[in-house]
Amino acid sequence: MGVPEIEALLLYWATERQVAASTGNQALNAICCLYCEVRAEHFVGLVGGS
């Protein structure tokens, strides 16, 4: 899963599923943590990514 897929997922949750902004932020932070800490990858261009 790359930046476009993550952005699409978060957008889907926000628009179609109408999840709260805090839930989307928590999901984004969890994804970033997974990729940065576990997979040692960083997302350039993704808000909240390093």
What pLDDT, in 10s, does the model give residues 13-26? 889 999 998 998 89
- Residue whose tokens read 């990729």: 35
Rg from Cα positions in the chain: 11
Note the pLDDT of residue 47: 57
Closest by alpha carbon to 2, among 30, 50, 38, 44?
Answer: 44
Name the DSSP letter for residue 37: I
Note the pLDDT of residue 35: 79
On the question of pLDDT at 38 being above 80, the answer is no
Sign of torsion, CA 17 19 25 26? negative
Average pLDDT over residues 15-39: 86
